[in-house]
């Protein structure tokens, strides 16, 4: 093998042996099965065909994904990163909250759901072994979100709603605010897919997805989603290395939304500065204060996972069973200081994993053919996770499937950065930054 400095522009077809082994050897079947499971989870076809629920499609497709992975990938479950350890600790706190729960049946149901989320988290970080695998997973997620966006835009433009547009499915996509959160975190992912894809047709279709997601946020009329979109876009513009392309795509999407949007579409967003005169905003402030009262009375383990609605009745005299509408306060109220520490810990370590991965990949930008693509992926995931946190500040989304998927992808990015660095160093690629690190 020839050593010395190798510029990425000098790599020819005959250097294909320099690609990561996982890109060549690992079958696509586990990832395809994982994509099928994510489709069932995110689109929820059983909501449209209730007879499918008899077959438990989510459970069946997840078992299929586990089976194909075990047959092809010679499985060896690994936890890899501190994010996983904090996620496991968070699940343990949820189980402990059963002892003090104000509504044990709801808490037990939430514990089961959290266990499923953790199982998916561990599966994804072990199943996804390459940038190619990650692209398939992210493309599946964004296509599922675009299906919901089309439904929202259709109902919004035709006036097929009462107060605000609701989702076409139940569960986590039945509420317009939850839909807006899903659209916000999908936008930077689509942006990365556009930059990392080849061919104008593919990029054009992905740009259409970007437009649909932006229009979906407007259609939900979610002020929290709108703020999340603004801050996420600012972070993405700050971290991306393709600022010109980001500005162009953003301008085209914003212009198209402005042209298509009906009169009065932005009125709700214009009311954000006058939140003190808004009844909905004042109600949320009241619920946040009530959540802080719960935390003050039950500081260790809280009132039980998903039991704040009943606890609100006992502690604040509120009989409406309303949500707290702030995920941080929700965790503090329902799981106490232990839950808050582990929940914030797993998210913080997700950000740390992405930050450290970016630092590890940057020295190899000119010398490894996959470094630029991986760095763009890390930037997109960092922006998506920040978008989630901004929206979650106004929503009750502490136990969210999309959060666990994002954190799993953050660990995957950290793992891929280590693989890239090890591959490059094994090939004796001479990078000046490498010597400075030593």
340's tokens: 């808050």
Segments making up each domain of the chain, as ranges? 22-76, 84-127+284-429, 134-270
pLDDT band at residue 256 under the 50/70/90 scheme: low
Percentage of the chain exceeding pLDDT 70: 80
φ, ψ at 191 (rounded to 5°): -60, -45
pLDDT band at 1 (very low <50, low <70, confident <90, very high): very low
pTM of the model as a whole = 0.86
What tens digit of pLDDT does each residue of 325-365 get?
899 999 999 999 999 999 999 999 999 999 999 999 998 88
Instruction: Give the pLDDT confidence of 202-240 residue by residue, as tens digits.
Output: 888 998 898 889 888 888 888 888 888 888 888 888 877
The pLDDT tens digits for 267-291 are 766 666 666 666 677 778 888 888 8
- Least confident residue range of 94-103, 245-254, 312-321: 312-321
3-state secondary structure the chain: CCCCCCCHHHCCHHHHHHCCHHHHHCCCHHHHHHHHHHHHHHHCHHHCCHHHHHHCHHHHHHHHHHHHHHHHCCCCCCCCCHHHHHHHHHHHHHHHHHHCCCCHHHHHHHHHHHHHHHHHHHHHHHHCCCHHHHHHHHHHHHHHHHHHHHHHHHHHHHCCCCCCCCCCCCHHHCCHHHHHHHHHHHHHHHHHHHHHCCCHHHHHHHHHHHHHHHHHHHHHCCHHHHHHHHHHHHHHHHHCCCHHHHHHHHHHHHHHHHHHCCCCCCHHHHCHHHHHHCHHHHHHHHHHHHHHHHHHHCCCCCCCCCCHHHHHHHHHCCCCCCCCCCHHHHHHHHHHHHHHHHHHHHHHHHHHHHHHHHHHHHHHCCCCCCHHHHHHHHHHHHHHHHHHHHHHCCCCCCCCHHHHHHHHHHHHHHHHHHHHHHHHHHCCCCCHHHHHHC
| pLDDT score recorded for residue 426 | 64
Q: How far apart are CA 191 and CA 196, in angstroms?
A: 9
Smallest Cα–Cα separation from 64: which of 123, 113, 114? 123
């Amino acid at each position: 093998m020839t050593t010395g400095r190798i510029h990425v522009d000098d790599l020819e077809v005959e250097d294909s042996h320099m690609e990561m082994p996982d890109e060549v050897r690992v079958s696509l079947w586990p990832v395809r099965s994982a994509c099928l499971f994510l489709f069932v989870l995110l689109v929820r076809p059983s909501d449209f065909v209730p007879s499918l629920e008899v077959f438990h499609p989510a459970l069946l497709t997840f078992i299929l994904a586990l089976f194909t992975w075990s047959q092809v990938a010679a499985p060896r479950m690994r936890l890899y990163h501190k994010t996983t350890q904090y996620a496991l600790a968070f699940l343990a706190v949820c189980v402990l909250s059963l002892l003090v729960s104000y509504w044990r049946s709801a808490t037990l149901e939430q514990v089961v759901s959290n266990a499923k989320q953790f199982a998916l988290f561990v599966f994804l970080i072990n199943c996804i072994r390459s940038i190619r695998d990650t692209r398939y997973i992210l493309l599946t997620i964004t296509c599922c979100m675009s299906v919901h966006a089309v439904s929202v835009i259709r109902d919004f433009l035709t006036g097929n709603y009462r107060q605000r547009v609701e989702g076409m499915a139940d569960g986590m996509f039945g509420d317009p605010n939850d839909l807006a959160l899903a659209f916000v975190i999908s936008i930077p992912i689509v942006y990365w897919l556009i930059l990392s894809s080849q061919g104008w047709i593919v990029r054009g279709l992905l740009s259409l997805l970007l437009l649909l997601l932006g229009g979906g946020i407007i259609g939900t009329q979610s002020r929290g989603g709108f703020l999340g979109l603004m801050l996420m876009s600012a972070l993405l513009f700050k971290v991306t290395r393709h600022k010109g392309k980001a500005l162009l795509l953003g301008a085209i999407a914003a212009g198209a939304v402005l042209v298509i949007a009906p009169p009065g579409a932005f009125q709700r967003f214009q009311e954000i500065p006058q939140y003190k005169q808004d009844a909905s905003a004042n109600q949320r402030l009241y619920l946040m204060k009530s959540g802080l009262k719960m935390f003050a009375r039950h500081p260790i383990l809280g009132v039980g996972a998903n039991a704040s609605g009943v606890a609100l009745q006992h502690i604040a005299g509120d009989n409406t069973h309303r949500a707290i509408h702030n995920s941080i306060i929700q965790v503090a109220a329902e799981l106490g200081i232990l839950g808050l520490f582990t929940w914030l810990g797993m998210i913080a370590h997700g950000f740390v994993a992405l930050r450290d991965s970016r630092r590890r990949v940057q020295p190899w930008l000119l010398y490894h053919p996959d470094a630029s693509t991986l760095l763009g992926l890390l930037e997109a995931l960092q922006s998506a996770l920040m978008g989630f946190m901004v929206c979650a500040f106004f929503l009750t989304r502490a136990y969210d499937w999309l959060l666990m998927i994002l954190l799993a992808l953050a660990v995957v990015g950290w793992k891929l950065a280590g693989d890239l660095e090890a591959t490059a160093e094994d090939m004796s690629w001479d990078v000046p930054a490498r010597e400075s690190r030593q």
